[in-house]
Structure 1
Amino acid sequence: MTPTDTRALVAIDLGAESCRVSLLRWLPTGPQCTLVHRFLNNAVETENGLRWKIDAIEAGLMEGLHRCAAIATEGVRSIAVDGWAVDYARLDDDGKAMEDPYCYRDVRNITSEESVHAIIPAAQMRVLTAIGIMRINTLYQLYADKLAGRPQAPWLNLPEYILERLGGRRVSEYTNATHTQLIDMHTGTWATGIFERLELDPEMAAPLVLPGSIVGKVTGELATLPAFADTQLVAPCCHDTASAIAGIPDAADDWAYISSGTWSLVGTLLQEAINTQPAREENLTNFGGAGGRILFHKNVNGMWLLRGCLDVWRAAGKDWSFDELLPLAEAQHTPHHLLDVDDPDLLLPGDMPNRINRQLLERGFGEISTKPEDAPAMTALILHSLAARYAQVLGAIADITGKKLKKLYIVGGGSRNALLNRLTAQATGLEVVVGASESSTLGNFAVQMAAVESSADAETIAEWAGVLRTAF
């Protein structure tokens, strides 16, 4: 497949730890993807809660886009934005964020979740939405706003917010919207009944669009640059996991995936949602995917655990690198006991080694040394525990779907962890195929190409993913 227009494309990938601006160009040797700009992104604890510095994010993205303009003298055909789900910006009359958005890890969601389920029981909510209950979902954050007396201003999840800031119309892309826990999976529309029962204004949510929708053109200062004079804005799979899975060029039906990063999203693709009692008992969720497919998976804790430990060890004077740490962790004895990696206490920020030991003590096990020099033992415990949890979840998915799974694609930044990949292969018994570490960017570009060239159906997206795989 070759493009009809050889101008460049830009993919913006918003990450909870870093944001990236990448450029896809069509060179005589073939497609080439370049990471043009990457900058750190961390939620900041303030007197008003855990927040994202939205102005800093926008400034970093603008720097990346200006760099793209300088490189892509042939012009930029389109820009698309994906990122983490659930968090959102409330908009003022000018379409700008009224304040720094809350981070989904803020403790306000604990009370909000309890209050929501006092009105709509969790089991009933699950039947309505086919979504696994997680207190980080947008619904609970919106209700936390209500409990705090915050104004019910229009809101956009962050990738769609960036698209609007670049000149796009106000939309909510479907794969991202399914993570709000406010979509009726039976109709594919906003679940107005949930809004009404919780006294949330459905008019504050933006109109839904499907992945691959063209939502406008670049305007403002960027449009004065020659490269962006005629650049379309595309809503890809705005949720980064859906984007990552769109970047897997496999048309078969015998594979599962792990999108491995801060979170591990463990699942498989379906044609239709499964919302049976066994699926609900496992808290397996049905999220929107590219080309009308369903991502049937479970959110499992991920590299958050190890990164939380690395932060503590670094502060104590030992800055471990993965290249240094993982061989030492592999040499450790197999742990006698494994962590419950999905313990809610391990989802919160702060002093991860002691949080892990607190769980071990509560379960009647012995502590592990938290000293930086003893990091290999703690690392081995984390990685063995993650692999075992992946195997449990994939076993449940195989039972519930009836699929005969043969392959397991591991994509995302965590796919570079060779030790975890090997442990996962051992625990699951599946053939592990390591995909692109920047799989969200690959899927972003694949959906863009399908959208601007023809149509964003599943087959076309998979074909473009195969073509573009060589660009990375």
Structure 2
Amino acid sequence: MKPDWAALAPRDRRALIAVDLGAESCRVSMLRWTDGKARVELVHRFANNPRESDGGLRWDLNMIAAGLEDGLRKCARIATEGIRSIAVDGWAVDYVRIDADGAPLEDPFCYRDERTLAAEVSAHKKISPERLREITGIQLLRINTLYQLHADTLAERPSGVQWMNLPEYFLARWGGSRVAEYTNATHTQMVDLYRKVWSEEIFDAMGFAPGRALTIVPPGTVVGRLSGPLAGLEAFRDTVLIAPGCHDTASAIAGIPAVGNDWAYISSGTWSLVGTLLEQPRSGDAVKAENFTNLGAVGDRVCFHKNVNGMWLVRQCMDAWAAEGKAWKIEDLVKAAEAVEKPTGMLDVDDPDLLLAGDMPQRINRQRQAKGRRPMDESSAGAPAMASLIFHSLAARYAQVLKRIALHSGKELERLFVVGGASQNEFLNRLTAEATGLKVFRGSAESSTVGNFAVQLAVLDGDRDRVTGVFAENVSHWAELLVGVMA
């Protein structure tokens, strides 16, 4: 059934802007009401990569800001009806240290910087990894903010007055209050996931000053109004700033048009996040041993999921084949893979050797030979068969993980929503349906944008609790409507 936009469209028909910060590219998208119907378009996109400077791998903060503000100006030129709100989501864990006036002290480090190798070891001498996991409920990753802040301490870097994750930093830069949005805060490894506050025990153990961490607010918080030079543009008069699910994964899951208790998700791209939404975190020895994580979600929920390898395997193979002169297009490779005979002997896609870059066809054969299987053709001529093996193996792994999720969550799963860039791979979706026995639904390739807008619409619709933020059902309702209008 098509949505009745005449009944749903708000009286205030000004546009909305969603900013998605990505570790490879950043996007500025706009939702407009045309003939009473919502339309979403990508207005501006630019590449984003860290650079080596000042003794580490860092993000070029001024470049990112300039790119985003170029995008906002483009939106202002297009949306003559005016712009009602702006919300920002992005990758987690990285942060900006700011002075008393909110100005950055230096460009932020990238989570890939190797400074956290020593910091992780040192941090675990102050508080055990077991205790960290018990308090936070999340997977221990050396990229997490806790280890980065400790690396700053070890290097005696200027502490600044406060630190902010990047989405919240840009909201503050444009006039919003300085806050820490809940879904983003949970990925720092410093939030008591059961009490939903900063952990005093962790801060004390690490010697972090509590005052340098900002107040945690729920997703869907209006943090202020646009001010500064951008506010001088006609379209930006009285534009509010909203913290959505600032963690892009939280926004992506918020972009899934589902209610009920019978569904799971795969956020499918370079990596695959396989999980479900829960009311409360899950813990216990089995959960820890299997490396499941509990991250904050929109609607006072928890994203309970596991990281699984994904299109990384295919992309690395494609790079190897391109180096020998055969540059496959992904759509052609998928079609060719679908046409070959079904492979036997699945890969262990989460083998640590397959997480490394370079020589992926050789790495795959190394695993096969270690298991007593015949090696495959590593050349581009053998690409369809190797790609087919990867897709079948991913589907088999998804099925394994989803069985464990059903066990840990107590859910009887019937539906599986696939979002993200690889959601458009219908061959993999079909294999996943066959392997899991679940009904698979393809969501948006830009699910973070959908979730970002869905939260904004829920907030502007007045559907928000002061303590817990927007209600999950209302966000899902808007997501269902928006999935069909993404340009």
- Is 2:251 aligned against 1:207? no
* C-alpha RMSD of matched pairs (Å): 2.4
Report the equivalent of 2:92: 85
- Is 2:474 aligned against 1:460? yes
Report the equivalent of 1:432: 440
Cα offsets for 1:289-331 (capped at 9, x unmatched): 1111111111223233333343444455433211111112223
> In structure 2, do the counterparts of structure 1 residues 197 and 349 end up closer, same or farther at CA, with 3 Å as the change threshold?
farther
Q: 2-side partners of 1:128 and 1:67: how far apart? A: 44
- Paired residues in the alignment total 472
> In structure 2, do the counterparts of structure 1 residues 54 and 364 end up closer, same or farther at CA, with 3 Å as the change threshold?
farther
Answer yes or no: is the 8 Å Cα contact 2:28–2:72 preserved in 1.
Answer: yes
Amino acid at match of 1:260: S
Please point out which of 37, 41, 61 is paired with 1:34. Answer: 41
Report the equivalent of 2:484: 470
Please point out which of 296, 305, 311 is paired with 1:297. Answer: 305
Report the equivalent of 2:151: 144
Please point out which of 412, 417, 436 is paired with 1:409. Answer: 417
- Normalising by structure 1, we get a TM-score of 0.92
Q: 1-side partners of 2:41 and 2:23: how far apart? A: 21
> In structure 2, do the counterparts of structure 1 residues 204 and 144 end up closer, same or farther at CA, with 3 Å as the change threshold?
same
Report the equivalent of 2:24: 17
Q: 2-side partners of 1:177 and 1:371: how far apart? A: 45
Q: How does 1:130-209 map to 2 (within 5 A)?
A: 130-153=137-160, 154-209=162-217
- Is 2:14 aligned against 1:7? yes
Task: Name the SS for the 2:177 alignment partner.
Answer: coil
Q: 2-side partners of 1:38 and 1:264: how far apart? A: 23
Report the equivalent of 1:267: 275
Q: How does 1:46-445 map to 2 (within 5 A)?
A: 48-153=55-160, 154-347=162-355, 349=357, 352-353=360-361, 356=364, 368=376, 370-445=378-453
Deviation at 1:71, TM superposition (A): 0.8
Cα offsets for 1:123-175 (capped at 9, x unmatched): 22111111122222222222222333323333221211221222212111001
Deviation at 1:372, TM superposition (A): 4.2
> In structure 2, do the counterparts of structure 1 residues 428 and 167 end up closer, same or farther at CA, with 3 Å as the change threshold?
same
Range moving further from structure 2, 46-55 or 67-76: 46-55
Task: Name the SS for the 1:291 alignment partner.
Answer: coil
> In structure 2, do the counterparts of structure 1 residues 421 and 315 end up closer, same or farther at CA, with 3 Å as the change threshold?
same
Q: 1-side partners of 2:396 and 2:280: how far apart? A: 28
Amino acid at match of 1:434: R
Deviation at 1:420, TM superposition (A): 1.8
Cα offsets for 1:378-408 (capped at 9, x unmatched): 4333323322221121111101111100000
Please point out which of 40, 43, 50 is paired with 1:43. Answer: 50
> In structure 2, do the counterparts of structure 1 residues 324 and 23 end up closer, same or farther at CA, with 3 Å as the change threshold?
same
Amino acid at match of 2:282: I
Structure 2: any 5+ residue segments left out of the alignment?
1-7, 465-469
Range moving further from structure 2, 376-385 or 433-442: 376-385
Answer yes or no: is the 8 Å Cα contact 1:4–1:453 preserved in 2.
Answer: no
Q: 2-side partners of 1:24 and 1:209: how far apart? A: 25
Range moving further from structure 2, 446-455 or 460-469: 460-469
Task: Name the SS for the 2:484 alignment partner.
Answer: helix
Deviation at 1:239, TM superposition (A): 1.0
Deviation at 1:77, TM superposition (A): 0.3
Answer yes or no: is the 8 Å Cα contact 1:105–1:348 preserved in 2.
Answer: no
Answer yes or no: is the 8 Å Cα contact 2:9–2:36 preserved in 1.
Answer: no
Amino acid at match of 1:84: W
Answer yes or no: is the 8 Å Cα contact 2:58–2:107 preserved in 1.
Answer: yes
> In structure 2, do the counterparts of structure 1 residues 136 and 382 end up closer, same or farther at CA, with 3 Å as the change threshold?
farther
> In structure 2, do the counterparts of structure 1 residues 377 and 42 end up closer, same or farther at CA, with 3 Å as the change threshold?
farther
> In structure 2, do the counterparts of structure 1 residues 360 and 95 end up closer, same or farther at CA, with 3 Å as the change threshold?
farther
Cα offsets for 1:16-63 (capped at 9, x unmatched): 222211100111151111111122223345583433333322222112
> In structure 2, do the counterparts of structure 1 residues 342 and 160 end up closer, same or farther at CA, with 3 Å as the change threshold?
farther
Q: 1-side partners of 2:70 and 2:246: how far apart? A: 21
> In structure 2, do the counterparts of structure 1 residues 163 and 362 end up closer, same or farther at CA, with 3 Å as the change threshold?
farther
Amino acid at match of 1:141: Q
Cα offsets for 1:199-253 (capped at 9, x unmatched): 2333222211100000111112211111112111000001111111112222211
Q: 1-side partners of 2:348 and 2:106: how far apart? A: 36
Deviation at 1:335, TM superposition (A): 4.2
Range moving further from structure 2, 400-409 or 189-198: 189-198
Q: 2-side partners of 1:321 and 1:106: how far apart? A: 31
Amino acid at match of 1:384: H
Amino acid at match of 1:471: V
> In structure 2, do the counterparts of structure 1 residues 392 and 49 end up closer, same or farther at CA, with 3 Å as the change threshold?
farther
Answer yes or no: is the 8 Å Cα contact 2:9–2:37 preserved in 1.
Answer: no
Cα offsets for 1:321-367 (capped at 9, x unmatched): 11111112223444444444334454455555555556556667665
> In structure 2, do the counterparts of structure 1 residues 101 and 448 end up closer, same or farther at CA, with 3 Å as the change threshold?
same
Amino acid at match of 2:110: C
Answer yes or no: is the 8 Å Cα contact 2:346–2:393 preserved in 1.
Answer: yes
Deviation at 1:283, TM superposition (A): 1.9
Task: Name the SS for the 1:21 alignment partner.
Answer: strand
Q: 1-side partners of 2:377 and 2:210: how far apart? A: 50
